[in-house]
Amino acid sequence: MEFEYYEILEVSKTATKAEIKKAYRKKAMKYHPDRNPGDKEAEEMFKKINEAYQVLSDDKKRAIYDKYGKAGLDGQMGGSSSGFGGFGGFEDIFEEMFGFGGRREKRKETPYNLDILIEVELEFKEAVFGVKKEEEYEYYTICKSCNGTGAKKSHTCPTCSGAGQVFMSHGFMKVAQTCPTCQGSGIIIDEECDECKGSGYKINKDKIELDIPAGVDDGMRMRIPNKGNEDFDGRRGDLYIHITVKEDKIFKRNGDDIFVEVPIFFTSAILGDKIKIPTLTGEKELEIKPHTKDKTKYRFKQEGIPNVHTGRKGNLIAILKIIYPEKLTDEQKELLEKLHKSFGKEVNAHKSIFEEAIEKVKGWFK
Ligand SMILES: [Zn+2]
Ligand SMILES: [Zn+2]
């Protein structure tokens, strides 16, 4: 495994966040394009420095990089495969460090958002162990025959003369507003486009091979770059996968931990017992000591779910639930009564405490 990000910033693998930021600032200043106009090598270095900083300054990304190298971050770095998180990026760093934006030019507006969000529902097991899934979805491209206008025949909007904007006077100020006649398109449609029936776009089908990592949880999002809707220049936005996970009857999840409720008969809780409980990978023996209380917890370390970022497993927690008989036969009733009597004074544990309390309360109203 290579650790070139550390080498690029010239910091050690154990460098603190502050050390990394300091190293980045120094390097970025040195290789900044404004200071090295026309220097291709400096520009290349500047890009590498930023890439390295983007990863090493982010705890989650750094953890993934330390473990899996660059490959683990592909999706987040705008590569071709899938990954997690990754909103914000170079632009934010540029703005934070230098006070200017590296943002792309504003694109000509499409009649739809460039990013797509689709929902993928996983079985509990798939979320725990990861799964490869092929998903079909639809994405939009600009209708070629009308170039996105939705019109077969049209004329220039007379209100705004095609500008899409009108200026309204508010006292001495002039304010630009979207043209109310054409809603900003600059044209009036005389006849709808046959190809797209006036929508301005075409619906296409696409397939995506999702490699969903072990440990994903309900509500998580994956970003697949360049698989969204297409703009006027043929560039595609991003596809976001919103993950939902079906609940399991036995295993209840909380973060990376798994909870299992263990029903145990009241006699077993008093006498003690040895039972088998299910785990995510098989079974474990659970020893219940005599006189065990209701809701007692037993922790099985690293029998939970692998963390989606670090791979570290959570715990399995078994919670005891004492069960009482729903019906008694005459014989059982007799036996229980006999047992009850055999405890003598112990069965009246509440009496001595409460009699005193009742007397005290009565005294309040005398
Ligand atoms: Zn107009
Ligand atoms: Zn069309």
Ligand 2 center to 225 CA (angstroms): 27
Which numbered ligand comes closest to the C-alpha of 200? 2
C-alpha 177 – ligand 1 centre gap (Å): 10
**Is this model's pTM higher than 0.85 or not?**
no
Each of the 366 residues of the chain gets a pLDDT tens digit; together they read: 456 888 888 888 888 888 888 888 888 888 887 777 778 888 888 888 888 888 888 888 888 888 777 777 765 443 333 334 333 334 444 444 443 333 333 346 788 889 999 999 999 999 999 999 999 999 999 999 998 888 999 999 999 898 888 888 777 777 888 888 888 888 898 999 999 998 899 999 999 999 999 999 999 999 999 999 999 999 999 999 999 999 999 999 999 999 999 999 999 999 999 999 999 999 999 999 999 999 999 999 999 999 999 999 999 999 999 999 999 999 999 999 999 999 988 888 888 889 889 989 999 987
- Residue ranges of domains in the chain: 1-103, 109-135+197-246, 151-192, 251-324
Closest ligand to residue 162's CA: 1
Report yes or no: 316 and 279 within 8 Å, Cβ to Cβ: yes
| Domains 1-103 and 109-135+197-246 agree in fold | no
Q: Which CATH class is domain 1-103?
A: mainly alpha
The pLDDT value given to residue 74: 63
What pLDDT, on a 0 to 100 scale, did the predictor assign at position 187? 87
Q: So what's the architecture of 251-324 in CATH?
A: Sandwich (2.60)
333 Cβ partners below 8 Å, 6+ apart?
none
**Residues near ligand 1 ion, CB 5 Å cutoff:** 157, 159-160, 179, 181-182
What are the two backbone dihedrals, phi and then psi, of residue 95, each rounded to the nearest 5 degrees? -65, -40
Beta partners for residue 207, in sequence order? 136
Kindly identify the ligand whose nearest atom is closest to the C-alpha of 179.
Answer: 1
Residue 145 C-alpha to ligand 1 middle, in angstroms? Answer: 22
**CATH number for the domain running over 109-135+197-246:** 2.60.260.20
Q: What is the three-state SS of 41-79?
A: HHHHHHHHHHHHHHHHCCHHHHHHHHHHCHHHHHHHHCC
Nearest ligand (C-alpha, residue 146): 2
Question: What ligand has the least distance to the C-alpha of 159?
Answer: 1
Please give the sequence-ordered ranges of beta strands (E in DSSP) within 130-238, or none if there are none.
131-142, 151-156, 165-170, 173-178, 187-192, 201-212, 221-224
